[in-house]
Structure formats: structure tokens, C-alpha cells
Structure 1
Amino acid sequence: MSARLGTGRLFRRQFLSDRAAALVVVGVVFVLALVAAALPRLAEQVFTDDLRAEMAGTPATLRDVTSVAAVAPPMGADGDLWAPFDQALTRIRDDAPVAVRQATGPGRFVVTAPPARVEVRATESATDLLPTADPYWAETVEVVEGEAPAPATEPAAPGEPLVVDVMLARTSAEEIGWSVGDVTPAASPTGGPGVAYRLSGVYEPLDAAAPVWAHHRAALEPEVFDDWDRGRTLTIAAYVDPESWAALMPVVGFPMETRLWYPVDVSAARADFTVPLRDALSRFIAAAPVVGSDPGQPSFSPILTTGSIDVLDRVAERHDSAQAVMAIVAAGPFGVALAVLALAARLMVERRRSALALIGARGASPLQLRLLTAAEGVLLGLPAAALATVLAGRFVDGA
């Protein structure tokens, strides 16, 4: 019993002696663990910020998954005109790879007809109204004057023009001097019965900086085109009652344009999402989905495109190059630190050789001596490594 007690006291005295070498070991372990824990976290955070900034700086028309077709989409019965197409867009997204579903929002679309020339009080400008159907307009705008467009109805008497309610952005209405209730005749693009547009309401965007507006033409302010020969032309989006689009198609004319998109948002994604999303988007747009329609209507096959694949590819290449450079740069300092750690450990062993010999003389086996030395290394290095890991996680991840 006394021999065991003497061995324990010797071990404690060995552990507490020669603090200089022990402090060197603790310091080197702390620095190595801190760098090993912080560097990957810092690199991952930098790569994540790079991914988000690169995608945020890409125009929505390139970033989003989009399709533009010169035909109207499939439509359902009156009163539920756009539900079949909306459900088809939902099914396409539901069948997409997981990464695409995580990075995209619900599909949206807008349908426009050819511009119609109207006579308004725009100074030194010709004005074209762009009849537009947006089933989701209530998500993005607020009617601030007047009311939303009423459903289209037949003319009051034969030969009279069809009066179509529209709503315009406040900026556009002010530009052409149009007030709520004003009725303006328009040239019929089909050459049939005349059509007139009545300004039923004026809207303002809920968020003028929202990416959705990149997919709407002339929705927030007039689109201005200056031509030396033809002069200045204003094009203004005129939103009609979406459920009346089927009835208005023969009046507003052809060809129509259907623009659909799935908004891409990686603001919550991490750097390791770059490659999976790139590959998933490639498979998604290559699938060439077909939107089902009624037997009496032609099929609608949107050709999906996105510029995000090229952006993500550039980001992934940049990250791979940076990781390779960091590995090369870090190899030198890490090698030096490991060499210093090995020298400090050897110094500790040499200075404890007499104490270890005395413990061996007290009856400790060679295995016990090795275990005592290993235990001393663990007691010195483990707390330092744990502290460094905790600090790296708290400060780097917290930042």
C-alpha cells in the first residue's frame, strides 16, 4: 500500500515539475487545435458568403428557373381559369430533385398580349398598353386608388366597343395623365370590334425591390423606347381581371407570351450546397416537363432555363482552387508546429527520465510507465484542445 502511495506521489511530482516544457506543449497543442478548428469554419463561412453574394448579384431573370413561350398556357373552366396550370407548375416542382425544391419557391407565371396603341395625354410620346394577366397580383401590389379590374362583359349594344377594366402603376398613370374612371379607345390588333380601356384602379408595389418584378414588363414604370425615326414610345403594363383572359383573347390579339419562373433563393444555403444544387438544377431543366391540358387544347411544354448553373459552377471552381491553395499554405506552418510539439514532448520525456526510473524501481512495469506518460500527455493536451475547439466554435460560428 505504501509503495502504491509513493508511486502516486512521484507521478504527481513529475506532472507538476518542469512547467516550462509542459507550458510549451500546452501552448502548441492549443494553437494547433485552434487553427485546426477555426480554419475550416472560417473557410466554410467565407465560401458561404461568396455563394450568397454571387447568387444575389445575379439578375433574377438569369438566377431563376424561367421559361418564355409564345402561346397562352392551358386554361380551365370559367371561375377557375388558372388553377390547372398552377397545379401543373406545382407538380413539376414536386417532382424535381430535393436540392431544387429546397432552393426554389412556388412557380409563378404572367401572360401578356401584344401592345395596343391608345390615345392619352402623354407629352410628345406614343403610348402602348400591354394587356397583362397575373393571377398572383394580390401578392405583390396594393390597390391605392380605385378598385381592381372587374370581369369583362359584353358590349352594352351591338357595334359599341368592348370596355375592358385595367389597373396601372401609379407612376405610369401619372406619366400619361390617366385618372381613375377614364376610358380610352384603343386600336384593335385583330381588326375586329373596337376595344376601349377603362382605368379602374391604381396600384403600388408592396416591395419595389422584390425580384419578382424582373419578370414583369413595364409593371412599375413606363418602358421608354426612343427611335430617331418614330419618336418616343411608352409601353405600360395594363393588368386586367385574370379570370377574364379567356374571354379577352379574341379581342386583345395574338401572339401571346407566357412567362413562368421558379424563384431561386440561396440566402439560407451553406457552401456545401453549391455542387448538389448545380447538379440538381442541371437534371431539372433537362427533364423537359410537359404540362397536361384538356383534349381540345394543345400541349404546353415549357423549355426551362437558368443561369444559376453557370454561376454555381464558377463558385464551385473558385472554392476548389481556394481549398487547394489553403492546404498548400497551411502545410508549412502545421509542419513546423508539429516539429516544435515533438521537440517539446521529447524534452519532457528526457527531463522526467530519472523520475520514471525511480517509479520503475518502486515496482511499476514498463507498460505502466508508458501509460503514465500517455496520461500526462492527455492531461496536458486534452483540456487545451477542448478549450481551443470551444473558442473556435463560439467566435467563428457566432460571427
Structure 2
Amino acid sequence: MTWWRLSRRALADQRGAVALVVLVITVLSLAVTALPRIEATARADQVRHRLADVSPQLRDLSAVTSADALSALDPSLPVTPEDNRRRWAAIAESFEATRTEVSPPLRDALGAGEVTATTDGYAIPLGPGSDVRLPTLSLAADQRIAERVEMVDGAPPAPVSWDPAAGGGGGAEELPDLEIEVMLLDASADRLGLATGDRITVGNLYHDLTLVLSGTYRVLDPDDGYWAHETNGAQPRVVEDLNLGTAVNGRAYVASDGWWSTLAALGQPAQVSLWYPVDVAAIRGGDPALLAAQLRGLTAQQVELTASGGGGGGGGGERSVSIGFASELAVRVDAVAGENAAASNIVALVVVGPLGVAVAVLALLTQLLLERRRPALAIVRARGASPARLRTVLGLEGLLLGLPAAAVGWGVATSLLGTSPGWRGWLPAVVLGVVPAVVLLSPPLPTGLRGRRRDLAVGGLARDVVVLAAAGLVLSQVLSVAPGAVAGTGDPLLVVAPLVLALAVTVLVLRLYPWLARAAHTVLRRGRSLTGFLGSARAVRDPGATLTSVLAVVVGVSVAVFSVVTLATLREGVERTVWVTSGSDLRISGPRIDAAQLEQVRSLDGVAAAATVATVSPAILSSPSASVRATLHLVDGAAYADVLADVPPSVGAAPVADLLGDGGGAGGAVPLMVSPRLDLAPGADGVRLSTGESVDVRVVASGNVLPGVADAGATWVLADAAALPDVAASTPARLLLVRLVPGADGDAVAEAVVGVVGPAGVENAAAAREAATGTPVLRLLTGTLAGSVVAAALLALGSLVAVQAAAAPRRARMLATLRLLGLRRSAQRSLAWWDLTPWVVLGATAAYGLGLVTSHLLLRTLDLRAFTGADQPQPVLPPVALAATAVGVLLAVVACSILPTIRRARTPTAQEDP
């Protein structure tokens, strides 16, 4: 019989276990291939999500300089249209060269540079029938304006005709009249009372200047980011002034190939705006931290625009102009980079555990294949098979099982997610595909029909020492990290900490369990219970607790606990941030809100409580040791406390109720509540508050935040408005907090409130909470953490099933013998319980404690402020979820313990060796 036939028959006899090995490798390969790309997509989407609402003025990389400064790039006198176009080309060439010198990823995000120029406004005569008191026109030019507008009436302007030799040098009064054709936005022309063909005379020091309106245009795409920089070109600029009247400025575009001649003729200063549009979609694929560093570097220095010499009479050589770019995008990108880094760190911490469980389960299943074939392999070797050839066959069998399954998982992930990754994308799948071969080749070849326990021998002791030393190193590294200090790409030791600590707990369980089993056996053998005696003896002599099985249980339970705690911490942190910002279900800000309006709001359907807040800034708080500036907030203490009734205790809201019932305070002093940043202890003497007039005050309490009013970083003072009636009377309330009746429609109530108080800014806490938890990286974290709990539970359960399956032949032979001796089925179930429950309970208990410890140690080191606001959150222990985790572990143990007794074991025949 050939080796191929032997292998095929052996694997076919164990087709159930083979199918499980193939399934696990396929699923793992799919996961390790898909998860990095899912994470990368979520990080990229987070960049797009956070930057999508940034206006082009703040987002784009822009600079402003004078037209005279840019003329140095082409110093020749512009007279003809060709001269004008040459100067535009010199500016565009130098601007584009600057962009190409920028390194990726910033260069990939920068679009083609835009250059526009404009003058100050010219006062023009009032148009007939126009209500505009101060009409002005600014001359402007842009070589690409024709691409963005279409003519409504008339024609585009022609270049100005200018002869610098005109006038004969006889002085400004001898210069000829100058006419400049312009085109104007149709809305601007209507507002200014102008029509195509109108001639507008304006003042100029050198010429009798006339602007001729050659036509009007409309904007093709008002949403084009270009018009965010050139707002006057897309709509007239209107300023309403009660004293001076209405002022309207329109942007009148001059022909670009006559612009520089126009400036030279008028002697008029002009400014030039240059900017690179930033493509948010292009940013998605780059590294946000690197992008922010590039932006800061580019905006922190002067950039040289350099044009090559030649032509135009300007002389040879290079000519340059220094400009300074500005952009507020770096701040936003830094924030996104922080969120992405924190998310990556958490995902890495969470994924390492289930991956370890998965590899352990795969190793268990592969060992099960080998254990079932031990008698056959021993016989084959006894008949003279070469050990090298036998190992070669086992290795090829492992590769035959692993590599095709890994390829299938990789292919499915690639087809579902699109683009094929590089070698780093398929390397994890290949490594997983090799695992069965490694496991089959790692143990020594069988020489007999009985296996020996090796993991507790001398070699196992050396392994345990190494694992414990590594765990001590990792633990010392974690303890040395300051709270919230780990950001960026994280610390590799921190990432592997959960798995290394789980290994340490595993070896401790393996060392402790035999002692406990012997102690239990010593006690039970003195009793009268046969099943207790036999079960404890079996637990001592043939325990199912191996390194891989215990590691699967420890990692599975600890990862489940860590994921539950992390998910609760993130959710409560986001919730706390929303409560600190909003303070109530609805936060209305802007208009003045008087007592009558407040009563109308309280009478609206769906409103449970409402309170106004008046703010006085600055207020001076003086103590015998120092005087500090603070912001005074005046509230109706009872109403504000009523609004805060639903605020969770975790928010750390100041105890507003302490302001109530204090009367006038000691000696008539006004009771105050202060921010901890003011460093004033309750009951401090000699404290006075000055807001124009100085009064004695008494500090009754201190608190971290005033929900909806001030966070922990502010220096605030809170007083009851009734205690400072003069200040309250002169300070209108511009903030309204509303608590809704449970089940009320927040949007409908907000609309009704605005109808009472007038146009205002409305913040809906429910919508803010949904927006905060709906970001791409938070969805990734929620899915990863929830998925890790499910995956770890299933994999740990799979390891228990594998242990039971591995022990099934020995158990069947023992139970068959005991049944022949008259052992009842209930006793058989008790013996099956002894095979699994003791060491699983011990390992799960240790893992549960490990999960709680690692949650506190690791979450304190990660910088989670990007998700939870200014304060580093403390780990949150959700009792219900943790209790459910413990119950789930217990049910899994019970299910796996009774699994072997569900079907009656077949009694071995006489030909089978028990």
C-alpha cells in the first residue's frame, strides 16, 4: 500500500476532525486578511467624516500677497495681451513647481493651484432705483473664470488698450481717458441697479476712468469650493448698517490677458490670492499624522515661488518671491490621527487574544488528528518505516490540509473587499496554512500505544520560567507607562501584553491544578463515593488540561471580559462627553430669554423642566491670597437642578442642590459654587466677588463640570440669580436648557421652543449622541469588540469540544469496562464531569480576574481622550454584562461536561484493546 493511499484512508476515517481543521483555517485566513483592510477603510472613512464639514477657507492651503510682489517673477512691463499672459504663466509655473516639490501624502491631496487677483473697492454712483447707499465695485481677474461661469447677457470683457507712451510726459492731467470693460454677476448687477452697456465713471489719480459693463454672468456650480474663496464673485457682498445704510460690493472681472496692463495703467495696488484646494478623498488613503506634520512644516515657514529667467526684457536668471501659507487643516487632521491611533491600539489589543485562541484551537484539532492515528503510526514505525519519511508524510498532510484552506479564505476576503493586497496581505494566511504541518511535526513520533504527558516535565519547567519572566517584563513596562500616554502606533509590548499575561496565567494554572487535584483525590478517596474517587483519580492521572486547552480557555474568557469592559468604557465616555456639552435633552443658545418666554417653554407639551443661564465675564474672585478672573453663571438653582435630574453620576456634575437652602450664607454672604481650578475650599473666609460691585461670598461646594454650561477645564463660578438680583437684572440669559418628558419627540419640541424664543442655535442631545457613536472608527471598535466576545467564546467552546473529543476513546473504554461492572449512567455522567469541569473552572476563574486586571492596566495607558473628551476615562465595569459573561462560561462548561453522555458509548468488543 502506498503512502498516498495510507494518508488518504487515515484522513478519510477522521473526516469530521479534518473538516473542522479546514473550516477553522479558512475562517481564520479570511479574518486575518479582511480585518486589516476593514480597519484601514474605517480609518480612511474617519478622515473623510471628520474633514467633510471643514470649509474650504479653513481646509485649503492658501496664501495672500501683493500684485507688486508677484510682478518680480516677470519684471517686464506688460503692455500687450502676450505680455499679460506671460506674467500669468510665470506665476502659474512657479506655483505648480512648489506643489510638485511637496512630498506625499500631502502632494497627493493638493489640487492644481488657483490664482486670483483683486483691487480695493471703487465707489460708484448710485444706480437709479437702487436702495444701496454705499455701492462699490472691486476689479478682479482670474485666467480660469470662463470655466466656472456662463454669460447671461452681453459678452466677456475685452483686454484694456493701454499705451504707456501716451501723455507725452506732460503730467497726469494730460493722460488720456481710460475705459475698462468688466463683467459682473447678474445678482450683483441687479442689486446695484446696473445693466449691460452701462458706463460707470469712477475716480482715479491718473486717468478719467470709465468702467464699461460688457455683460453679466451666473455661476455654473455654486457648491464649487472655488467660490468659498471668491465669495463676492458668486454673490454680492451686502453689509447692513443702521447708521450708514446698506453697503454692497460687487466683483467686476477684467479680461485676464489685460489685467497686469490695467494695474500698471491705474497705478492701483492689488492683492493676489493663491491656494491649493485640498481633496479630502485623497487624504483618506494617507497617514493623517504624517499629513499633519507636513502641513505644519509648510505653514511654519516662508515658501519661495521661483520662476526661470528669459524673455520679456526681464533679464536672465531665476527670480523668486516669498509667500506664507496658512491652513487650519493640521489641527483637524491631528485630532483624526489621534482617533485613528487609539482605535488601532484597541483593535490590536482585542485581536491578539482571539487570534491566540484560534491558533490554540487549531493546534488542538490538529493534535486530535495525530492522537487518533497514534496506534497506526506506532505500528507503521515498528514495521520499519523511516522516521524521516514518516515526518515528511505528516508534514505534507498538514500542508495539504492548511494551504488550500488558507488560499480559499484569502480569496474570499479579497473578492469581497476588492483590491488584492501585497505580500503583507497574504503572508498571514500562508502562516496559518502552515500551522497544521508544524503541529504534526512538533511532537516526537510515537513509539508505543500509550502517550506520555510532557508539558509538566523538565522542558515544561524551562518553558514556564521563560513565560513568567516575559510576563514580568511586560507587566513592568505597562506599569511604567503614564496614564493616557500610549498614542500613535502604540507600544509592541503593550499590544502583546494580553497574550503574554494569559500565557503566564496558563502555566500557573497548569502547575497549580495537579496539586489541587491530588488534594481533592486525597479527601475523596476516604469517602464512600465511588464516582468521586474514580473521577478525582482520573483527574490526577489523565487530566485534559494541556497548555493549548487551558490557554484557549484563559484567553477566551479574559478577552471577553476585556472587550466587555472596553466597550462599556468607550460608550460611557462618549455619553459623558455629550452630557457635558449639552447638559440636557435640548440646549438652546443665542437669543435673549426673559421670564415670560421661560414660562411659555415650560408649558409646552413634552417639556419636563427648563432653566436659563446668564453669563457674566469677567468676574473677579478675590481671596486673601490671590485674585483670579473667572466666568460667573447665574441660574435658578432649583430649576437648574431639576434639568440635571437625568444626568448620569459618571458625568461628575457639580452638586447644584447645595446652593439651595443655604439662605444668605454666613453673615449675609452670597453662596457660590466654584470650579476646582480656582483652588478654593468650601467655607473659605475672606472671599469676595466683583462684577462691577464687590460682594462677600461663601464657597459652599466645588464640582468638576456644569453640564451644558462649563467643562472641567473652565474657571467658572455658579450662583443663584436670586442671590445677586442687581447683576441678574442687568445680564440677560442667552442659554436655555430643557429636559424632555420620556418619549417626547426632541425635534418637535425644539421647533416649538424656537417658535417661542426666536431664531437660535439648537443642540439635540439624542442627535449628538447618535452622531458621536456613528463615526467610522467607533463603529469599527464596537463591531470589533462585540465580535471578539463572540469569537473568543466560540473558539474557547471549540477548544473544550476538542478536548472532549480527544479524550473520547479512552473515556469510552473506561466507561465500557465500568458498565460491565455495573456502574449506573448517573455515575457515568459524574465521571465525565470530572474530565473537564475542575480545570476549566480553575482556568476560567483565573482568566476572569486576568480580564479585569488587564482592563484596568491597559485602558489607563491608552490615550482615549479623542473619543471621550478632555478627560482620560476610567475603566467601567458593567455588572450585567460581566455577570452574563460568567454565566456564559458556566453554561459552556456544563454543556461540554454532559456532551459525552448524550449518546451511549459503544462497548468495545473483545478484539479491541482497552
Quick check: TM above 0.5? yes
- Deviation of 1:281 after TM superposition, in Å, equals 3.7
Aligned residues of 2:34 and 2:417 also touching (Cα < 8 A): yes
1:130 and 2:143 are equivalent in the alignment: no
What is the aligned partner in structure 1 of residue 702 from structure 2? none
Specify the SS of the correspondent of 1:87: helix
- Deviation of 1:266 after TM superposition, in Å, equals 4.4
The one of 357, 380, 384 equivalent to 2:401 is 380
Specify the SS of the correspondent of 1:80: helix
Aligned residues of 2:302 and 2:323 also touching (Cα < 8 A): no
After superposition, give the CA deviation of every residue in 1:59-104 in whole Å (9 maximum; x if it has no partner): 2222222101244421543323222222222332233335444332
1:10 and 2:24 are equivalent in the alignment: no
Structure-2 change in CA distance of 1:258 and 1:272 (3 Å): closer
Aligned residues of 1:120 and 1:184 also touching (Cα < 8 A): no
Name the CA distance, whole Å, in 1 between partners of 2:111 and 2:65.
Answer: 21
- Deviation of 1:252 after TM superposition, in Å, equals 5.5
Structure-2 change in CA distance of 1:272 and 1:257 (3 Å): closer
Name the CA distance, whole Å, in 2 between partners of 1:378 and 1:34.
Answer: 18
- Deviation of 1:165 after TM superposition, in Å, equals 1.0
What is the aligned partner in structure 1 of residue 178 from structure 2? 162
After superposition, give the CA deviation of every residue in 1:307-349 in whole Å (9 maximum; x if it has no partner): 3333332222221111001011222322222222222122111
Map residues 59-70 of structure 1 onto 2, 5 A cutoff: 59-70=55-66
What is the aligned partner in structure 1 of residue 119 from structure 2? 113
Unaligned runs of 5+ in 1: none
The one of 184, 187, 191 equivalent to 1:171 is 187
Name the CA distance, whole Å, in 1 between partners of 2:419 and 2:99.
Answer: 34
What is the aligned partner in structure 2 of residue 288 from structure 1? 303
Write the letter of the residue equivalent to 1:230.
L
The one of 334, 337, 341 equivalent to 2:355 is 334
Specify the SS of the correspondent of 1:203: strand
The one of 85, 108, 114 equivalent to 2:91 is 85
Structure-2 change in CA distance of 1:98 and 1:38 (3 Å): closer
**Larger helix fraction of residues:** 2
After superposition, give the CA deviation of every residue in 1:228-268 in whole Å (9 maximum; x if it has no partner): 22121111111012233334336766442111112222424
Name the CA distance, whole Å, in 2 between partners of 1:9 and 1:151.
Answer: 91
Structure-2 change in CA distance of 1:159 and 1:283 (3 Å): closer
- Deviation of 1:180 after TM superposition, in Å, equals 1.3
What is the aligned partner in structure 1 of residue 28 from structure 2? 32
Map residues 289-304 of structure 1 onto 2, 5 A cutoff: 289-291=304-306, 300-304=321-325
The one of 197, 220, 223 equivalent to 2:211 is 197
What is the aligned partner in structure 2 of residue 211 from structure 1? 225
Aligned residues of 1:116 and 1:129 also touching (Cα < 8 A): yes
- Deviation of 1:36 after TM superposition, in Å, equals 0.6
Name the CA distance, whole Å, in 2 between partners of 1:388 and 1:315.
Answer: 32
Structure-2 change in CA distance of 1:7 and 1:288 (3 Å): closer
Name the CA distance, whole Å, in 2 between partners of 1:329 and 1:100.
Answer: 32
Aligned residues of 2:66 and 2:270 also touching (Cα < 8 A): yes
Higher relative contact order (CA 8 A, sep 6+): 1
Aligned residues of 2:302 and 2:324 also touching (Cα < 8 A): no
What is the aligned partner in structure 1 of residue 18 from structure 2? 22
Aligned residues of 1:113 and 1:253 also touching (Cα < 8 A): no
- Deviation of 1:205 after TM superposition, in Å, equals 2.6
Write the letter of the residue equivalent to 2:25.
V
1:57 and 2:53 are equivalent in the alignment: yes
- Deviation of 1:159 after TM superposition, in Å, equals 8.5
What is the aligned partner in structure 2 of residue 321 from structure 1? 342
Name the CA distance, whole Å, in 1 between partners of 2:146 and 2:219.
Answer: 10
- Deviation of 1:363 after TM superposition, in Å, equals 3.0
Moved more, 169-178 or 279-288: 279-288
Aligned residues of 1:219 and 1:236 also touching (Cα < 8 A): yes
What is the aligned partner in structure 2 of residue 48 from structure 1? 44
Q: Could you tell me the TM-score, scaled by structure 2's length?
A: 0.40
Name the CA distance, whole Å, in 2 between partners of 1:14 and 1:80.
Answer: 88
Q: Which has the larger radius of gyration?
A: 2
Aligned residues of 1:111 and 1:132 also touching (Cα < 8 A): yes
1:236 and 2:236 are equivalent in the alignment: no
Name the CA distance, whole Å, in 2 between partners of 1:302 and 1:138.
Answer: 27
What is the aligned partner in structure 2 of residue 271 from structure 1? 285
Write the letter of the residue equivalent to 1:137.
I
Write the letter of the residue equivalent to 2:259.
W
Aligned residues of 1:165 and 1:198 also touching (Cα < 8 A): yes
Write the letter of the residue equivalent to 1:91.
A
After superposition, give the CA deviation of every residue in 1:153-174 in whole Å (9 maximum; x if it has no partner): 4699979853321101222223
Structure-2 change in CA distance of 1:97 and 1:334 (3 Å): closer
After superposition, give the CA deviation of every residue in 1:165-205 in whole Å (9 maximum; x if it has no partner): 1101222223333221112223x2x4554423221012223
Specify the SS of the correspondent of 1:218: helix
Write the letter of the residue equivalent to 1:95.
E
Write the letter of the residue equivalent to 2:158.
A
Name the CA distance, whole Å, in 2 between partners of 1:123 and 1:202.
Answer: 18
What is the aligned partner in structure 2 of residue 142 from structure 1? 150
- Deviation of 1:299 after TM superposition, in Å, equals 6.5
1:94 and 2:103 are equivalent in the alignment: no
- Deviation of 1:147 after TM superposition, in Å, equals 1.1
- Deviation of 1:218 after TM superposition, in Å, equals 0.4
Write the letter of the residue equivalent to 2:335.
R
Moved more, 170-179 or 235-244: 170-179
Name the CA distance, whole Å, in 1 between partners of 2:322 and 2:287.
Answer: 29
- Deviation of 1:223 after TM superposition, in Å, equals 1.2
After superposition, give the CA deviation of every residue in 1:273-316 in whole Å (9 maximum; x if it has no partner): 43443444444443521446958xx9732112223333332222
Structure-2 change in CA distance of 1:363 and 1:11 (3 Å): farther
Structure-2 change in CA distance of 1:6 and 1:154 (3 Å): closer
Unaligned runs of 5+ in 2: 168-173, 421-914
Name the CA distance, whole Å, in 2 between partners of 1:53 and 1:121.
Answer: 49
Structure-2 change in CA distance of 1:159 and 1:281 (3 Å): closer
Write the letter of the residue equivalent to 1:258.
V
Aligned residues of 1:141 and 1:204 also touching (Cα < 8 A): yes
Name the CA distance, whole Å, in 2 between partners of 1:217 and 1:254.
Answer: 22
Aligned CA-pair RMSD: 2.9
Q: Could you tell me the TM-score, scaled by structure 1's length?
A: 0.87
Write the letter of the residue equivalent to 1:386.
A
Specify the SS of the correspondent of 2:234: coil
- Deviation of 1:10 after TM superposition, in Å, equals 2.1
Name the CA distance, whole Å, in 1 between partners of 2:117 and 2:92.
Answer: 13
Specify the SS of the correspondent of 1:271: coil
Name the CA distance, whole Å, in 2 between partners of 1:135 and 1:7.
Answer: 79
Specify the SS of the correspondent of 1:197: strand
Structure-2 change in CA distance of 1:383 and 1:121 (3 Å): farther
Name the CA distance, whole Å, in 1 between partners of 2:220 and 2:266.
Answer: 28
- Deviation of 1:392 after TM superposition, in Å, equals 0.8
Name the CA distance, whole Å, in 1 between partners of 2:110 and 2:4.
Answer: 64
Moved more, 143-152 or 344-353: 143-152
Structure-2 change in CA distance of 1:368 and 1:304 (3 Å): same
Identity percentage over the alignment?
Answer: 33
- Deviation of 1:391 after TM superposition, in Å, equals 0.9
Name the CA distance, whole Å, in 2 between partners of 1:122 and 1:166.
Answer: 22
After superposition, give the CA deviation of every residue in 1:193-230 in whole Å (9 maximum; x if it has no partner): 44232210122233222111222140011111112221
Structure-2 change in CA distance of 1:328 and 1:54 (3 Å): same
